[in-house]
Amino acid sequence: MSDDLTTPAAPTTPPADKPVSQPKAPAVKRSRLRKWTRRAFIGAGAVTGGGLALGVGGIVFSPNRLKYVPEGTEGEGHLTTWIKITPDNRTTVLIPHCEMGQGALTGLGMLLVEELDADWSLCTVEQAPAEDIYANGYVIHAFLGEVGIGVPGFMERAFDFGSFKMAQFAGLQITGGSTSTRGTGVFGMRLAGATARGMLLEAGAEQLGVPMSELTARDSRIIHEASGQSATYGELVGRASALDLPSRPRLKEREEYRLVGTSQDRADIPGKVVGEAQYGMDVVRPDMLYAAIVRAPVPGGQLEHVDPAPAEAMAGVRRVVQLDDAVAVVADGYWQAQQALNALGPKFTDAGLGDVDTAGIRARHAAALDGEPLGEPPAEGRAVTAEYCVPYLSHATMEPMCATARLADGQLEVWAGTQDPLSTRGVAAGVVNLDKDDVHIYNQQLGGGFGRRLPGTYDYVEQAVEVAKVTAPRPVKLVWSREEDMRHGYYRPFVMGRFQGVVDDQGHARRWASRFTGGMADALEADPPYGIEDKDIQAVTAPVHLRTGSWRSVAASQHGFFSESFIDEMAHAAGSDPFEFRRGLLEEEPRHKAVLERAAEMARWGTAVPEGRARGIAIVESFGSIVAHVAEVGIENGTIRVYRVDSAVDCGLVVNPQQAETQIQGGVNFGLSAALFHEITVRGGAVENRNFPDFNMVRLAQAPRVNVSFVDSGGPVGGLGEPGVPPVAPAVANALFVLTGQRLRDMPLRLG
Amino acid sequence: MPPIELPVANLTIVSCVRRNVGVACGGSASFHETRNLGEAGDMIDFTLNGSSVSLDVPADMPLLWALRETAGLTGTKFGCGIGACGACTVHLDGAAVRSCSTPVGNVAGRTVTTIEGLASGGALHPVQQAWIDHQVPQCGYCQSGMIMAISALLERRPGTTDDQLAASITNICRCGTYERIRGAVASLTVAADAEEETGDV
């Protein structure tokens, strides 16, 4: 490894003549944080064996350790952060995000390669390992740019979790909140690509002996068109790596894009169709043992007593491990471990919550709202009131929680799929009181995330490490049964909302008032985009019984359902067409209006539908993107059937159209599962649901046709993983009202 | 029926060949040798991805765990353990079965194909190729089972319609890739239809 790698590592406050790029804050609606307090800093240098390495660090908290070399890569002269170009003219891009199937690696790589003007076919995109140097401060700013001040709800979990301090806040390596493309991509990857391109242009000018202004970069080549000379990036990296960084790397304008905006295949897919992709579940280590576990079914419950004898008598069983709140069986195979666990009759306490059930939870939420009445509506106009409610929801990733851990020689190794390898390391270190430097996380592909593998939710890692203390030095793979996974989630919160709207005699909306259980952190999602002068929106604290967390689209999922159902109620009360009513209230929101109109146009809103069907419309902004769905709904044999969904999306910039489309399509099915089926219920303080039969999913037979169209607003880059979810349930519910006259205000939607 | 090697280009579903004669398959490199770890009589003998195997496992162990932990083939996934989600789908004598609910003792003397053995002669199975062409997987965890279920269906019914697909395939994809699945399957059944019409088969 060459020491040269640390060449001009700019400090967090670089001198004026040194490279500083300060990306502009995105002009997101409602943003109050226009000035960015950070400085991006860039380091570049040579790698052993020749080549250019270039990294961009973020913001004030970011570690200034560009000399860092990942373990085991010393001989390769690995890049420090994000980009490496080698003499064979190949480019490697390291992405500090996890691939959960949302195409983040490909999309982010495209943003960098676009600015680099490299040949995409010569580029390799890899996921960065869990090391501090990859910590992604840009994730945080993708959020702060949107909400302005305070800590967004999604990030609150990081604060809630004990091991995090404010100063470590930006040290997360998170994939969540649809931030990958918004944060890292726009502010990090593009900057890295543009900087490297600038250096290659300068090197090209030296090598070809022509002015830099006469050169162009294209397809991994610096070209001097006047003379016909050119040099590949690979031929120039040696020279480029000795250069100072360009003072102002120029980012392309969108109309200059050649790669971004074209559909590119994802690199992870071939491995996923032949069974080679390795998920956390698939980890195999030498001498590995397997563990199954059952935890106290009531949150907060403790293990009171267990007789290990029945399990220990069974073939292949190594050990019964008693934890404070759980019992695990270690065996030579997972099935043997689970069978032996089933033979045990552990007694757990119920933490005094044994009388809690779903009806009681609902009553408590209602009582909390009773304490904050909506008040009397104004005398003039027609008042509409309604109460909505959504249940707890499980993420139910296809891959149940699992982690493999090995404790030996004062070192802890963990193999697991998480949405934030860095904070996973902190959690694991805490269990065994080791320094974080002695803990190594090998992140695996995620068999679904959706928020279940975010910071603050690594109980499965903690348990695996606890069991590894017993099996040390042998590694152990802890696998949750589906039943355990269903029962110990970090659920989408149970939320109740009460609404009051007023429509005047001319059919105009005059007032919008709501009270909902939850926190004011959700106020942004609870505030619909409609231009109604008199808005009164307040959160009310309600007791939380189960563990809650971020569920794909987070607060937008419940508030989208509430707001878009209730505005529909107001439209009908006003005697207006629901599409026209909304459109009339979006005069100040041209992006929303354009999206709403596109969806209506796609669905041929206002034209006849096949007999027995009806259309419903809904529009929700979340994670910087605006999505409107029109659902065409019918009833077959008493069952709700959604035939098609026309979806219009304004996500600012579409990086990889085929991936953008499939994220929205997936979001529709995810949202539809919640709308039609999902309800986590509680009895005796414990979650009742056990497996897919009682937490059902949309399958091919229920999956609607989904047509997606992108509205090119030129707006800031928005997310795509989540924004397809929130408008689904209200669009379906609104269609059902037209079809049946029943206004369904509880999820899942059930016909009376 | 003698094995008939059909060119991949005409998109005929070729796994019918494998079902009957157990030809060697390309993707099963991680388990070729016969294991001999226990007493005679404790062993479960069957054909796995074209090779004879003999596994020393309890007969009531689900096939899923014998494949994943004993045979070392982790492409077949654990999702629910009760046959509800289909992530563990494999072919047993050519038919799709849920390996989490199939005791390994039931496959003795029979032929099992997993996702690792679906490709043949160095060429991907047409369903696998269509999954790449249509960029179907997202997280991908369910897709081994999805591909196995659909490849078995198309073999039995090459002209499967959308409605038949929906009625037959109950595998869960939590990422919600169903639209892409339909498109990929349609590309295969159109090809099959075309063959029938031109009499190529």
Of B70, B82, B181, the CB nearest to A700: B181
Task: Give the position of tokens 């892409």.
Answer: B180
For chain B, the three-class secondary structure string (H helix, E strand, C coil) is CCCCCCCHHHCCCCHHHHHHHCCCCCCCCCCCCCCCCCCCCCEEEEEECCEEEEEECCCCCEHHHHHHHHCCCCCCCCCCCCCCCCCCEEEECCEEEEHHHCEHHHHCCCEEECHHHCCECCECCHHHHHHHHCCCCCCCCCHHHHHHHHHHHHHHCCCCCHHHHHHHCCCCCCCCCHHHHHHHHHHHHHHHHHHHHHCCC
Residue in chain B nearest A672 by alpha carbon = B176
Contacts with B, A 692-721, CB within 8 Å: 692-693, 697-701, 703, 705-706
Q: Which of A155-159, A181-185, A230-234, A541-545 has the highest mean pLDDT?
A: A230-234
Least confident of A24-28, A460-464, A600-604, B197-201: A24-28
Average pLDDT, chain A: 82
Over residues A480-487, the mean pLDDT reads 98
Does A333 contact B at CB distance below 8 Å? Answer: yes
**Beta carbons of B179 and A102 less than 8 Å apart:** no
Distance CA A313, CA A331 (A): 12
A722: closest chain B residue by CA: B175
Which residues of chain B have a CB within 8 Å of the CB of A693? 82, 84
Cα separation, A451 vs A546, in Å, equals 16
- pLDDT the model gives residue A317: 97
From chain B, pick out residues whose CB is under 8 angstroms from the CB of A673. 176
Is the model more confident about A384 or about A92? A384
Query: What pLDDT shows up at residue A212?
Result: 95
Distance CA B76, CA A297 (A): 29
Partner-chain residue, chosen from B132, B174, B182, that has the shortest CB–CB distance to A270: B132
| Segment A209-266, tens digit of pLDDT | 999 999 999 999 999 999 999 999 999 988 887 777 666 678 898 899 999 999 999 9
**A-B contacts at Cβ under 8 angstroms:** 186
- β-strand pairing of A229-232 with A382-390: unpaired
What domains are there in chain A, each with its CATH number? 3-262 (3.30.365.10), 280-351+401-479 (3.30.365.10), 495-740 (3.30.365.10)
pLDDT for residue A653: 87
Segment B119-138 mean pLDDT: 96
CATH 3.10.20.30 intervals, chain B: 13-117
Question: Are A701 and B170 a contacting pair at CB < 8 A?
Answer: yes
**Averaged pLDDT for residues A63-67:** 24
pLDDT band, residue A521 (cuts 50/70/90)? confident
Scanning A69-133, the segments in alpha helix (DSSP H) are 104-116
Report yes or no: A645 and A615 within 8 Å, Cβ to Cβ: no
CATH topology of domain B13-117: Ubiquitin-like (UB roll) (3.10.20)
State the nearest Cα–Cα gap between A704 and chain B, in angstroms: 8
* Structure confidence at residue A9 as a pLDDT band (50, 70, 90): very low
Report which of A602, A597, A604, A564 is spatially closest to residue A583, judged by C-alpha positions. Answer: A597
Q: Given this model, what pLDDT does residue A512 score?
A: 96
In chain B, CATH 1.10.150.120 covers 126-198
Chain A positions touching B75 (Cβ under 8 A) are: 274-276
- How far is A172 from A186, CA to CA, in rounded Å? 18
Q: In what order do the strands lie in the sheet with A229-232?
A: A215-217, A221-224, A229-232
Residue from A703, A100, A722 nearest B181 by CA: A703
pLDDT tops 50 at residue A69: no
Cβ of A273 within 8 Å of Cβ of B167? The answer is: no
Tokens 């269609």 sit on residue:
A735
Q: CB contact, 8 Å: A536 with chain B?
A: no
Asked if the C-beta of B146 comes within 8 angstroms of chain A's C-beta atoms, the answer is: no
- Give the closest-approach CA distance of B46 to chain A in angstroms: 20
B 70-99 residues with CB < 8 A to A: 70, 72-82, 84-85, 87
Are A275 and B62 a contacting pair at CB < 8 A? no
Please tell me which residue, A81 or A216, carries the higher pLDDT value.
A216
Pairing mode, strands A289-295 and A303-305: unpaired
Q: What is the pLDDT of residue A63?
A: 23
Percent of chain A with pLDDT over 90: 64
Q: Which residues of A touch B114 (CB under 8 A)?
A: 275
Structure-derived torsion over alpha carbons of residues A453, A455, A458, A461, reported in degrees to the nearest 10: 100
Please say if the pLDDT value at position B41 is more than 60.
no
pLDDT for A484 equals 98
pLDDT tens digits for A276-317?
A: 999 999 999 999 999 999 999 999 999 999 999 999 999 999
**To which residue do tokens 């269906």 refer?**
B153
Task: Please name the residues in contact with B103: beta carbons below 8 A apart, sequence gap of 6 or more.
Answer: B59, B60, B61, B62, B63
Q: What is the 3-state secondary structure (H, E, C) of A54-74?
A: EEEECCCCCCCCCCCCCCCCH
Least confident window among A466-480, A544-558, A693-707, B58-72? A544-558
Q: Which CATH superfamily, name and number, covers B126-198?
A: [2Fe-2S]-binding domain (1.10.150.120)
For residue A360, the model assigns a pLDDT of 95
* Residue, of A182 and B148, whose pLDDT is higher: B148
Kindly tell me the burial class for residue B108, based on how many C-beta atoms sit within 10 Å of its own C-beta (0-12, 13-18, 19 or more): middle
Are residues B150 and B52 in contact, defined by beta-carbon separation less than 8 angstroms? no
In which band, very low, low, confident or very high, does the pLDDT at A53 lie, cut at 50, 70 and 90?
low
Long-range contact pairs involving A220-227 (C-beta distance under 8 Å, separation at least 24): A220/A89, A220/A91, A220/A117, A220/A118, A220/A119, A220/A122, A221/A119
Reported as a pLDDT band with limits 50, 70 and 90, residue A718 is: confident
Q: Is A396 near chain B, with CB under 8 Å?
A: yes
Between chains, do A665 and B179 touch, taking CB under 8 Å as contact? yes
Q: How confident is the model at residue A569 (pLDDT cuts 50, 70, 90)?
A: very high
From chain B, the residues in CB contact with A274 under 8 A are 27, 75, 115-116, 118-119, 124, 128
Specify the 3-state DSSP secondary structure of A384.
strand
User: Is residue A501 helix, strand or coil?
Assistant: strand
* Residue in A100, A315, A668 nearest the CB of B139: A100
Contact A447 B139 (CB under 8 A): yes
